[in-house]
Amino acid sequence: MRGQTVLILGGGVGGVGGVVAANALRRRLDRRHRIVVVDREPTFALAASFLPDHQITRAEVGRVTFTDGTTVDFDLLVHVPPIAPPLALRGSRVVDETGWVRVDRHSLETAYPGVYAVGDVTLIPLAMGKPLPRAGVFAHAQAEAVARNIAASVAGKERAARFDGRGACFVETGDGRAGFGSGDFYAEPRPAVRMRRPAWYWHAGKVLFEKQVMWGWL
């Protein structure tokens, strides 16, 4: 059988979907087969050919073309679509020209007093020029801070809770292993984030974490 090419477009800077797939495929397919990850930025693609700074301009059966004119032929294409603001907020005065909701980075209050936004719908610029990544860990912490402040407000107390930009994330790499990243995303001039190498105990930690969260909800 001839070697085949699996092309993954949009690996994800956080190394989530696309890169997990790339690493898991690399372990399962022999070296005759190519796995190519394409992204605008570096990712955690440890085990695949990687084309950074590439943006697609055209896709057709068996081939994609990039802005610099290069092409990659593929047998299977895995495409991770870009994240976009929700349609429900289009045209709303709460969003800015980008379509996302601008909030105070600590209180999550919008330009409208008493109106808050948390999670993926927000746009929180960081000193490095990029927004705070959209992640459940931040949505969760933001929601806790906002809930505390709304409760304080209702009770006539001071709104003292603040979201501090700290967060952690398990990064599944397949085969029962995960990496772990944690840090202060509000640190300047760049987020201070530490990555731990993939190991079985981070995967076990993720399983336990998920169970703990589910037990808390049920």
Ligand X SMILES: Cc1cc2nc3c(=O)[nH]c(=O)nc-3n(C[C@H](O)[C@H](O)[C@H](O)COP(=O)(O)OP(=O)(O)OC[C@H]3O[C@@H](n4cnc5c(N)ncnc54)[C@H](O)[C@@H]3O)c2cc1C
Q: What character string, x for contact with ligand X (CB under 6 A) and - otherwise, covers 115-154?
A: ----xxx------------xxxx-x---------------
Return all residues near 139 (Cβ < 8 A) that are at least 6 apart.
Answer: 118, 119, 120
Site map for ligand X, 81-100, x if CB under 6 A?
A: -----x-x------------
From the list 114-122, 149-157, 177-185, 208-216, the region that binds ligand X by CB under 6 A is: 114-122
> How far does CA 210 lie from the centroid of its chain?
18
Nearest-CB residue to ligand X? Answer: 119
Nearest CB to ligand X, comparing residues 112 and 209: 209
Q: Where do the DSSP E strands lie in the chain?
A: 5-9, 34-38, 49-51, 56-60, 63-66, 71-73, 76-79, 101-102, 122-123, 166-174, 177-184, 192-199
| Both structure tokens of 167 | 């967060």
> Please, which residue, 160 or 213, has the CB nearer to ligand X?
213
Given the rule CB under 6 A, which residues bind ligand X? 16-17, 86, 88, 119-121, 134-137, 139, 169
